[in-house]
Amino acid sequence: MLTRRRFVASATTVLVGAELTGALAQARYSRKPGVAAEPSAGKTVAVRLDAAERPVALPCFGGHALPLWTFADGEWPPLIRLNLGDRLEATLENHLPRAQESSSVHWHGLRLPNDQDGVPFLVQPPVQPGETFRYGFTPPDPGTFFFHTHCNTAEHLGRGLVGVLIIDGDITEPYDADRVLLLRDWQVDIESGRFNPFFTLRGAARSGTYGPLRSVNGTVNPQLALPASGDCRLRLINTDTTRIMQIGVQGADAAIIAVDGMALPPFPLASWTLGPGMRVDIVLRAPGEGRIARLIDQSPPGHVELAHFIGQGVARRMTAFDPAPLRAARIAEPDMKSAERLNFVFQSSESGQFIGDASDAQGAGIGALCLSQKQFWTINDRAWPDRDHARLPAPLAVLRRGRSYLLSLKNDSPFAHPIHIHGHSFKLLRSNQQKTPQHHADTLLLLPQERAEVAFVADNPGDWMFHCHIIEHQESGMMGYFRVS
Ligand SMILES: [Cu+2]
């Protein structure tokens, strides 16, 4: 029986614990980010992205070779790496194996000219099988990004059609290692070695369809060797179509140094929520020679080990953990005095509520014409598309170029939505549910019933998508665009 005295004692314990957590969360390291250089003329990097079906036996497939759709032969995922100031010239060739299976490349998180943003119908024609399309741009910001197609994305991403894009030029001093960790599930039945459906009605109307096979860089819980006691940069990219993770580290000090590629003052990693489309760069003080640290998804109901790190070689650093910061991108600061307020409400449609309550419905998702067959989700009561793509709907909002905007985002649904903005990076000002430092992001996770405010300068002209990055939500209505003119 819980006596009053014991109750007081345990309440005190909880309070002390909470204070400790708060103190840790507010601990600061000594060094602050610098500012990234202006991109200066660099070299041109030419790449060929040959979208095609290829049998690939990733280690996580347990001996099966699955018909992946990939951008290149060889290593998966492909990596494009540039220095800030370099120009990328990427030629997409569509050799996907299905008639009318169109393609394009969206460079997720990059503040590019609108005609390079890779959204079919909105900014470029869809690239049909047998056709090619040339992208050419100079990325304006350093950091960790990725690229993927923007139509029938549940299947394209589900089959592996994704690549990593790293823009170097943000370090203030070298780290002891620099690794990419691409986190994702696979919709694979491991017994039969076949894909499960990439889109289900039940999943689309609820939190999305979870893949049963979790992986990092195509391996289940890989062991990654890191220089012992080194400060190692780990670039975590959630390219999953559905899963939201609570990232934590066990057995080592770790700090967050960038969110969605954008530097911020380093702060201790306790638990960081990483939804689809989101990235986080961390510095981890690698364990000593032969010792292990673990990357964990702390989401309920239980911890899942995503990867583990083993220290190797002579100890690199003996000093207390004080991670080197990055150089921050040059993003215009919104003027909050003159900012215009725009309200966005994310919720389910009536049919979405109906299906969400129903049992295991399955069905095809989006077709080759990017026409959603189901409309379960809305932004400001509008589901995408309300007509076919040849006749685009009106923008959700028209923004004046150069003006500052404050977006009030309200999730009026019982499911979380990672909301992604194209062509801009917004600044998270406040949330009624999440306590995170102010930071820039291109994808902001809205928890169930959460209200958040973000601000940005509409400094990039064009039509920009604004959508949920749980792909089944995106493809069943939760998408729109705004026009900067
Ligand atoms: Cu969503």
Question: Domain ends where: 328, 363, 393?
Answer: 328
Distance 381 CA to ligand 1 centre (A): 14
| Reported confidence tier of residue 300, pLDDT bands at 50, 70, 90 | confident
The phi, psi pair for 13, rounded to 5°, reads -60, -45
Contact assessment for residue 147 and residue 107, using Cβ atoms and an 8 Å cutoff: yes
Quote the pLDDT of residue 95: 98
Q: How many CA atoms lie less than 13 Å away from 180 in the CB half-sphere? A: 24
pLDDT per residue as tens digits for the range 321-371? 999 999 999 999 999 999 999 999 999 887 666 555 554 444 444 454 565
pLDDT per residue as tens digits for the range 71-81? 999 999 999 99
The enclosing domain of 287 has a CATH number of 2.60.40.420
Residue 20 domain-assigned?
A: no
Quote the pLDDT of residue 5: 37
Quote the pLDDT of residue 141: 95
Residues 382 and 350 both lie in one domain: yes
Residues 164 and 183 both lie in one domain: no
Residue 21 domain-assigned?
A: no
| Reported confidence tier of residue 477, pLDDT bands at 50, 70, 90 | confident
Distance 349 CA to ligand 1 centre (A): 12
* pLDDT for residue 23 is more than 50: no
Domain count, the chain: 3
Q: What is the mean pLDDT of residues 233-261?
A: 97
The CA-atom distances, in angstroms, between 294 and each of 11, 284, 291, 300, 316 are 31, 10, 10, 17, 19
Distance 471 CA to ligand 1 centre (A): 7
* pLDDT for residue 398 is more than 50: yes
Output the six-digit token pair for 430.
């406040």
Residue 469 domain-assigned?
A: yes
Contact assessment for residue 277 and residue 469, using Cβ atoms and an 8 Å cutoff: yes
Distance 283 CA to ligand 1 centre (A): 30
Quote the pLDDT of residue 43: 96
Parallel, antiparallel, or unpaired: how do β-strands 245-250 and 292-297 relate? antiparallel
* pLDDT for residue 391 is more than 80: no
Question: Domain ends where: 288, 305, 328?
Answer: 328
* pLDDT for residue 6 is more than 70: no
Of all residues in the chain, the percent with pLDDT exceeding 90 is: 77
Residues 304 and 375 both lie in one domain: no
Quote the pLDDT of residue 20: 32
**Cβ neighbourhood burial of 41 (10 Å; 0-12, 13-18, 19+):** exposed
| Reported confidence tier of residue 408, pLDDT bands at 50, 70, 90 | very high
Residue 406 domain-assigned?
A: yes
Host domain of residue 393: 340-484
Residues 290 and 359 both lie in one domain: no
| Reported confidence tier of residue 37, pLDDT bands at 50, 70, 90 | confident
Residues 182 and 324 both lie in one domain: yes
Q: What is the mean pLDDT of residues 207-232?
A: 97
Distance 52 CA to ligand 1 centre (A): 28
Output the six-digit token pair for 290.
């032969």
Quote the pLDDT of residue 114: 98
Distance 325 CA to ligand 1 centre (A): 32
pTM: 0.91
Distance 260 CA to ligand 1 centre (A): 18
Residues 186 and 238 both lie in one domain: yes
How far is the C-alpha of 11 from the C-alpha of 3, rounded, in Å? 12
Distance 398 CA to ligand 1 centre (A): 23
Tokens 């909470």 found at: 18
Residue 18 domain-assigned?
A: no
Of all residues in the chain, the percent with pLDDT exceeding 70 is: 88
Distance 276 CA to ligand 1 centre (A): 10
Q: Which string of b and e fits 357-373 if b means at least 16 CB within 10 Å?
A: eeeeeeeebbebebebe
Residue 386 domain-assigned?
A: yes
Residues 149 and 213 both lie in one domain: no
Q: What angle do CA 405, 407, 413 make, to 5 degrees?
A: 170
Residue 14 domain-assigned?
A: no
Range picked from 36-45, 190-199, 230-239, 355-364 for highest mean pLDDT: 230-239
Which residues does 359 contact at the CB level (< 8 Å), separation at least 6? 202
Residues 206 and 254 both lie in one domain: yes
The residue among 39 and 354 whose pLDDT is bigger is 39
Residues 150 and 181 both lie in one domain: no
Distance 167 CA to ligand 1 centre (A): 28
Residues 189 and 293 both lie in one domain: yes
Which residues does 424 contact at the CB level (< 8 Å), separation at least 6? 111, 442, 456, 458, 459, 460, 464
Output the six-digit token pair for 275.
């939804």
Question: Domain ends where: 282, 307, 328?
Answer: 328
Distance 470 CA to ligand 1 centre (A): 5
Residue 155 DSSP one-character state = H
Residue 70 domain-assigned?
A: yes
Residues 302 and 357 both lie in one domain: no
* pLDDT for residue 27 is more than 60: no
pLDDT, mean over the chain: 89
Distance 417 CA to ligand 1 centre (A): 4
Strand order in the sheet with 404-411: 377-379, 340-348, 404-411, 451-457, 426-431, 439-441
pLDDT per residue as tens digits for the range 149-193? 998 999 999 999 999 999 999 999 999 999 999 999 999 998 999
Q: What is the mean pLDDT of residues 453-462?
A: 98
Residues 299 and 408 both lie in one domain: no
* pLDDT for residue 115 is more than 90: yes
Output the six-digit token pair for 458.
């509409």
Evaluated on CA atoms 280, 281, 283, 286, the torsion sign reads: positive
| Reported confidence tier of residue 392, pLDDT bands at 50, 70, 90 | confident
Distance 429 CA to ligand 1 centre (A): 21
pLDDT per residue as tens digits for the range 435-451? 888 999 999 999 999 99
Output the six-digit token pair for 466.
């604004």
Distance 1 CA to ligand 1 centre (A): 44
